[in-house]
Each structure stands twice: as C-alpha cells, then as structure tokens.
C-alpha cells in the first residue's frame, strides 16, 4: 500500500511540475522549534499544524486555547533575521506565548520564517527579488 501511495505522490508532483512549471524552494532564513516543549512521547496524539504572521496572533491564541493539544506553528517575521526589527518581533512573540495557559504553551512548538529582504514590499518589486518573495505573504491579507 505504501508503494502505491509513493507512486501516486511522485506522479502527482510530476504532473504539477509539468503543468505549473517547477518552483524552486524559497530561500528564506528559518529557525525551527524556536520555542518548543521538552521532548516527550506525544506520538499517539494529533498535532495542529498552522502558520501565521504577527498580525494574526490574537486569532492564533484563540485557536490554541480551543485546541488544547500539541501544536506546531510557523510564524512569519517581516524583517531579516538578526535585525533590530526582527528582535523586537521575536520579543513580542515570546511575550504573547507567556499569556497562554500552561496547558497550551507546554505543547506548543513555534518555528520562525524571516523576510529575505527589508520586509514586506508594496508591489512593484523586481521579479525573483527578495522583496517580491516577501510580498507574497501573508497570502490571505
């Protein structure tokens, strides 16, 4: 059965590549498990996996409080890693995490995705530039 699933996944990817063209991976700086609970055995539980930008933190908090199970969240930081702006946003995110009930933040893993350029651009970016990639997020704004 696994062999059939692998073949299906490979053929699906090939069909998508031939139709849409091959997309190279986006070269964003990431920090996986920036904030994470201690390693533990949660293999028998379902993990909520989601992503958001900092402007969506109130909605994320409500979702996590309702979920109350393990969660893995990728958060987009609209500044390059190591910049003063990124440090400010990281501190705000860490502060937001402290307001979560212990039952939530002890099961929460947060990974960070940083802007490649100077942050989110307002259109007109050079194709393939860091600013063009940064303008693609958030996708639901």
Distance CA 115, CA 27 (A): 10
Residue with the larger pLDDT of the pair 132 and 68: 68
Tell me how crowded residue 15 is: count the other CB atoms within 10 A of its CB. Answer: 10
Residue with the larger pLDDT of the pair 31 and 2: 31
pLDDT per position as a tens digit, 9-64 = 888 888 877 776 666 666 677 777 776 766 665 555 788 999 998 888 889 888 98
pLDDT per position as a tens digit, 85-127 = 999 999 999 988 888 888 887 888 999 999 876 544 445 556 5
Q: What are phi and psi of 34, to 5 degrees?
A: -55, -45
User: Which residues lie below 8 Å from residue 126, measured CB to CB, with a gap of 6+?
Assistant: 132
Distance CA 117, CA 131 (A): 5
Q: What is the pLDDT of residue 121?
A: 46
Q: What is the pLDDT of residue 24?
A: 63
pTM over 0.75: no
């Amino acid at each position: 059965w696994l062999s059939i699933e692998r073949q299906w996944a490979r053929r699906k990817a090939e069909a998508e590549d031939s139709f849409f063209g091959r997309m190279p991976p986006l070269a964003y700086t990431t920090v996986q498990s920036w904030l994470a609970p201690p390693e533990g055995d949660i293999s028998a539980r379902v993990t909520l996996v989601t992503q958001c930008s900092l402007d969506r933190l109130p909605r994320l908090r409500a979702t996590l409080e309702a979920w109350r199970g393990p969660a893995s969240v990728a958060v987009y930081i609209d500044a390059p890693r190591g910049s003063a702006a990124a440090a400010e946003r990281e501190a705000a995110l860490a502060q937001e995490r402290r307001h979560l009930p212990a039952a939530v933040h002890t099961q929460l893993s947060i990974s960070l995705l940083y802007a490649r350029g100077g942050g989110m651009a307002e259109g007109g970016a050079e194709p393939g530039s860091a600013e063009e990639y940064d303008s693609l997020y958030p996708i639901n704004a």
